[in-house]
Amino acid sequence: MNKKFFEVLILISFIIIGLLVYLNFNKKGELPNCDLLSDKLNSCEPFLCELEHPFTGEMVTREVVGLINDKCKYIEEMPNGGKMNCEYPESLRKAVAQYYKDIAMSKSEEVSIEMNLSNEEVKKTYIIDGEKVENPLQKALDTGICIISGYD
């Protein structure tokens, strides 16, 4: 084989190695933060970001994959190897995006959980800045629009 062929092959190899190093580097903490997540989810525009989980301090990713069969595919990494996969219809997607925006802009948020041991009924109350709010994400989980996996 001629010398020119090997030069091109070596050049292509360096480009591929450089790309792999870049992609691997970006997977380890170089993704954008999630400040734009609610806007990207609202429009279902593909977006990948990273944030520090508020309870564990673990770095996790959130991804708006895009529209698939008229539903917005969304993936959220959870602590300890868990994952939440969602396929949002438009109305619920917009409600969840607004909920994420409200939380991001809030000064305080809390969840109150009460369980009736006799009938195992669980009541959750969500409070943002001292005001009770509906949590559309809970509705998505309850109706199977979002599914959590990775935990036994």
pLDDT tens, residue by residue, 14-33? 455 544 444 544 454 578 88
pLDDT tens, residue by residue, 64-86? 999 999 999 999 999 989 999 99
Note whether 12 and 80 are same-domain residues: no
Question: CA 8 to CA 13: how far, in whole Å?
Answer: 9
Note whether 86 and 64 are same-domain residues: yes
pLDDT tens, residue by residue, 125-142? 777 888 888 888 889 999
Our count of domains for the chain comes to 2
Task: Write down the pLDDT at residue 15.
Answer: 52
Note whether 24 and 49 are same-domain residues: no
Sign of the C-alpha dihedral, residues 36, 38, 42, 47?
positive
| pLDDT of 113 over the 50 cut | yes
Query: What's this model's pTM, rounded to 2 decimal places?
Result: 0.71
Note whether 7 and 46 are same-domain residues: no
Note whether 17 and 46 are same-domain residues: no
Note whether 62 and 131 are same-domain residues: yes
Q: Which stretch of 14-28, 31-45, 48-62 has the lowest confidence by average pLDDT?
A: 14-28
Cβ–Cβ < 8 Å for 49, 119:
no
Note whether 70 and 137 are same-domain residues: yes
Note whether 46 and 24 are same-domain residues: no
What pairing do the DSSP bridges indicate for beta strands 82-88 and 146-149? antiparallel
Q: What share of the chain is helix, strand, coil (3-state, %, to 5)?
A: 40, 35, 25
Indicate the pLDDT class of residue 10, thresholds 50, 70 and 90: very low
Note whether 64 and 93 are same-domain residues: yes
Which residue range(s) make up the domain with 136?
37-149
Note whether 66 and 95 are same-domain residues: yes
Note whether 6 and 51 are same-domain residues: no
